[in-house]
Structure formats: C-alpha cells, structure tokens
Amino acid sequence: MSTDTTPTTTRADAREASTPGSEWWRSAVIYQIYPRSFADASGDGIGDLAGITERLPSLAALGVDAVWLSPFFRSPQKDAGYDVADYCDVDPIFGTLADFDRMRDRAHELGLRVIVDLVPNHSSSEHPWFQEALAAGPGSPERDRYMFREGTGENGELPPNNWPSVFGGAAWTRVTEADGRPGQWYLHIFDSSQPDFNWENPVVWEEFRRILRFWLDRGVDGFRVDVAHGLMKKDGLPDIAEKATGDGIADALMAPEEVPYWAQPAVHEVYRDWHRVLAEYPGDRVLCAEAWVEPLEKAALWVRSDEMHQAFNFSYLSTPWSAPRLRAVIDESIAAFTGVGAPSTWVLSNHDVVRHASRYGLPEHVAGPNAGIGPNSPEKPDAALGLRRARAASALMLSLPGSAYLYQGEELGLPEVIELDDHVREDPTFHRTGGEAYGRDGCRVPIPWEADAPAFGFNDSGSSWLPQPEVFREYARDQQEGMAGSTLELYRSALELRARRELGLGSVEWLDGYGDEVVAFRNGGLTIIANLGSTPVELPAGDVVLASDAIDGRAVPTDTTVWIA
C-alpha cells in the first residue's frame, strides 16, 4: 500500500484536561472511520487498523479533532462488526490489539482523539455467553443474560409478541433445545445473529463496566454507543400497534409512535452508571449516543449533565433542503441541547444512511435517510445537483456552534454507489427483506485515495470487499489535493476557519431581510448566508472567506453557502 506523504506536523496537544464548559467535545469535529472501507494495508480487500494508521496524517491535515471507529472487535461479521463476539479483542481481519495500540499512539501524536464504537444492545450469536445460554437451557442464569421467552399458541409455536426486526421480519427466533425439541424464543431487534442482552440482569451491567474500563485503560478518549435508546424493554413485552412498526431501517429506528423496545425511562440509569465509570479517568472522556429519538427535547434527555455528553442529531440529518425547516431545526436543536447544558451536534452522513451528496439530489419526498438506493429504485439522484447542495449543506453545518460529525469520504464529495449487483451485497437489511430494501452497502464502498492506483489507493492489490465504481477515480483524494474549488479543499478551508474563529463555541444570531428561502446568521464575527432558493441573493458588504461554489459578482447563487468576514 502506498505510504501517505502528507506532512505529519502535529497541532497543539488537545488532550489536556479542560475546565467545565470548555471540554474538547463541545466544539469538536469528529471523523467517522468505517474500518473495512477506509484503508487496507494487508491487501486482502478489507480495510484494517494498520491501513488506518498509515492514513491518519491525512485526517490531521484535514483539520478534524477526533476519529470515531466503527466496530473492529472480534465478530463473525454478519452485520459488519455490529455483531460482537468478543468486546475486548480485535477481529483478525482488522489486525491485533497491538495494531490498535499503534493506531491509537499515532492518532495521539497527531493531536487526534480516538473514539470507539460500543454495541450494548446485543451481541453476536457466536458470543460465548449466548452459546452458553443455548447449552444451559430454560431457566438458567446463562439464559437470563439474554431475552429468552416461552412462545405463545397451543404449543409455543408462535413468537412471544408481534415485535418486528429493524432489518425485516420478526424480532424473535425459536431455538432447538439440547434434546431436539422446539424450545424458547430469543429476542433480536436486529438480525437473528444479534440476540438482545437482558439489561434487567446486573451481570450484564457489570460486564459492560469491565468492557468500558478495558478500553479506557487502553487510552481511548470515548465511546460512540450504538442504539443507545434501546437496551431496556417495557415490562411484560407488550404487543405494538402495526402503525408503529416503521418502514425501512431509519423509520424502524426512529419509530413514529412510542414502542416498548425504544426509549424506556430505565435506560437512563445505564448511562448514569457509565458516566460514573468515565469520571474515574482524566482527560474529558466522552460518551456519544446514537439515539434515534424525536422530538429533540426527548433526545436531549440522553445528554443531561450526569449521563452522556453528546447525542447524534438525527432530526438535523433528516431535514430536507428547505430553508424554513433548516432554520427551525437549528433553533430547536440549540434550545433542546443547551437546555440541559450540552452542545448540539450536527451530522449529514454516516454508515447507515444514503450519502448526502446523493440524498440532496433526490426529490424531496424521498430526500430523507432510507434503506438505500439501488438499480431499480424509482428515483435516482441528480449527481450534479446533489453535490452542489451537499457542499452548501456541509459549509452551513460547519459554521454552526457545537460539535460536527463527518463520515469518511464526504470530504471528497463521494456519492452513494447505486449500481451494486445483488450477489455482492452484504447488508442484512437487503437479505432479510428479500431485496425490497437495498440496505446500506451503497454508502460503505471503500473510498478512493489515488486515481491511478489499484483499488484507487485503498490497497496495493486491487481487491475490494465491495466493488468501487469507475467514477470514484475523479473523486480520489490525490485529484483534489491543492485543487482550488475541490470539495476536499472546501472542507479543509471550512475546518481551518471554524477552528480559528472558534465557531464551535459561538452562537447563532439570526439575520432578517433575506427572505424565506435563505438561512442567514452571524457566528464568530462571520456572516453566514445559505441560499436555498431559485434566484441569486445579494451579498452584504465584506470579504467572502469561504464559498461552497463559485461566486459571480456580488450575489450568492442558488444552492450555495458563503461565509463573509
């Protein structure tokens, strides 16, 4: 694999403890690495920790503050590592614990903090605990670590309730007992290979304290917590109304009605417990919730002062390209999160949703996160429109106070990969729905580094676990490096200005007089104007220090964001 030659000069060491109210995570820009698709040092077609270590200087040069790694733990990879078999070891496809230590050390040398993904709602069915539960039988302490229940119907042949899996089908699977008889059912809100833990059991609490301390002792700076609104289930596991089941992965995660497996009040006690564990360690360690919860006032409950520190703002991610709706969600976000003493977060893409460079090229009625786009989808994105709006949306997001999350490749303007053959798709959503939902593979294709290298620089062998489209050549990092007007240089300039102007610690002062199709405000001494309308908007006096697209004269073109000093 080619060695990255980006200068490795470190920024000022950001790992010193801060005073309350100035913690690093309040204004950080955090870059999500999806390990299997970031960089592959071994050449086997799957990204790894050594590959990440080689490429970290590029992220330091980009100007981010931290990296968040999706799961790299031991796993059969039925759900790309979100099915964990051993929470305290590295899966061999990604390397070893020693490789993790080298990656962590390199990141800290470069001034980057390291956040790891934790999956507490469920384990892999290959986790030793679950195998012990199957062997031990009904009523055993081993089974009580998971959600085993007797079935309904005359002979227990029906599931305990009507809960659906987020990935399609039922959320219950029946086991065959040791004597060959059909036995109990176990709950899996996701894939059948991901049995849910029983968080009513104190043994589970103690195990996750051990896991937290294992990684904190190893020097990680925090945790992103998968499905943080799950874990606890309502007493009695009651049926849900059919209208609350959701449609597709995002709808099922952010159910339109309250359901008995999301956002139960008792889940907050888990994170109060975890907060106390992190408080044992120096350096402002952080917990970030993946909590698909609406409204925002409810999502803010996850980041009260004695719980988590951040929660992903999925309401912002889900907002279509509409100035009134963006103004509203920005106001609601800041009010909700500051109301509990936490920063708002901002995010446009991640490993579970259609990349925003494609999402913004879709008609509004399908512009939200969904279960993927594929060859037979009724609507296809307008690539040029999507990228233009994505650049404007990113420039707007990075001007807001609080913390921002970037997903690998968005700084290159990468689109969703639509043309993937069925036989290469790996997302369980695709398989459990019989192809009705394409799933998330399209945003997980390995990213391009060098236009003329094998696998576009992902590795030296040319192998890639998902095929890369030829169009990735024009998005490769080496084609954008130092190129005025490139998406990469737009992100670099925005991040440098954001840090220098301390926009993450600033505030929004709305500006009037720009009409309903414009988002305009001041922050950090800058005037921010995002024109979402159909006609150009006159620029105010001042110097344009950032523009998401070319400015012609003294007007902001449509689908363009500018920063003015």
Position 245 pLDDT exceeds 60: no
Position 471 pLDDT exceeds 90: yes
Position 111 pLDDT exceeds 50: yes
Q: Is the distance from CB of 298 to CB of 315 less than 8 angstroms?
A: no
Summarised one tens digit per residue, pLDDT across range 202-241 is: 999 999 999 999 999 999 999 999 999 999 999 999 999 8
Q: Which residues make beta-bridge pairs with 564?
A: 527, 544
Catalytic residue among 91, 142, 226, 441: 226
Task: Taking residues 65-92, report their average pLDDT.
Answer: 97
pLDDT of residue 1: 46
| Least confident interval from 2-6, 118-122, 314-318 | 2-6
Residue 366 banded pLDDT, cuts 50, 70, 90:
low
Position 116 pLDDT exceeds 80: yes
Q: Is 226 a catalytic residue?
A: yes
Position 17 pLDDT exceeds 50: no
Q: Which residues make beta-bridge pairs with 519?
A: 530
Q: Is 352 a catalytic residue?
A: no
Residue 428 banded pLDDT, cuts 50, 70, 90:
confident
Position 16 pLDDT exceeds 50: no
Peptide bond before 295: cis, by omega within 30 degrees of 0?
yes
Task: Taking residues 503-532, report their average pLDDT.
Answer: 97
Task: Taking residues 275-280, report their average pLDDT.
Answer: 97
φ and ψ of 326, to 5 deg: -70, -45
In whole angstroms, give the CA distance from residue 299 to residue 318: 14
Position 246 pLDDT exceeds 90: no
In whole angstroms, give the CA distance from residue 364 to residue 347: 18
Decide the pairing of beta strands 560-564 and 526-531. antiparallel
* Burial (0-12, 13-18, 19+ Cβ within 10 Å), 265: exposed
The share of the chain scoring above pLDDT 70, in percent, equals 93
Catalytic residue among 16, 257, 280, 516: 280
Residue 407 banded pLDDT, cuts 50, 70, 90:
very high
Task: Taking residues 123-144, report their average pLDDT.
Answer: 97
Position 6 pLDDT exceeds 50: no
Position 18 pLDDT exceeds 50: no
Q: Is the distance from CB of 302 to CB of 271 less than 8 angstroms?
A: yes
Alpha helices in 257-409 (DSSP H): 267-278, 296-299, 314-317, 323-338, 356-359, 383-397
Residue 368 banded pLDDT, cuts 50, 70, 90:
low
pLDDT of residue 19: 58
Residue 247's identity, in one-letter code, is: D
In whole angstroms, give the CA distance from residue 415 to residue 398: 20
Mean pLDDT of the chain: 93
Helices 267-278, 202-217: crossing angle, 10 deg rounding: 30
Q: Which residues make beta-bridge pairs with 288?
A: 224, 310
pLDDT of residue 244: 54
Q: What is the DSSP string of 261-291?
A: TSS-TTHHHHHHHHHHHHTTSSS--EEEE--
Largest CA distance in the chain: 81
pLDDT of residue 251: 60
pLDDT of residue 199: 98
Task: Taking residues 158-162, report their average pLDDT.
Answer: 97
In whole angstroms, give the CA distance from residue 406 to residue 384: 21
> Given phi > 0 = left and psi -120 to 50 = alpha, else beta, which region is 501?
alpha
In whole angstroms, give the CA distance from residue 389 to residue 398: 14
465: Cβ contacts below 8 Å, ≥ 6 apart: 36, 37, 45, 46, 426, 446
pLDDT of residue 8: 36
Residue 128 banded pLDDT, cuts 50, 70, 90:
very high
Q: How many helices (H) and strands (E) in the chain?
A: 15, 20
Residue 227's identity, in one-letter code, is: V
Residue 294 banded pLDDT, cuts 50, 70, 90:
confident
Residue 5 banded pLDDT, cuts 50, 70, 90:
very low
Three-state SS for 24?
helix
pLDDT of residue 432: 82
Residue 83 banded pLDDT, cuts 50, 70, 90:
very high
In whole angstroms, give the CA distance from residue 198 to residue 163: 16
* Burial (0-12, 13-18, 19+ Cβ within 10 Å), 65: buried
What sign does the CA torsion over 383, 385, 390, 395 have?
positive
The candidate with the shortest Cα–Cα distance to 146, out of 181, 118, 117, 172, is 172
Identify the H or E element spanning 67.
strand 66-69
pLDDT of residue 243: 54
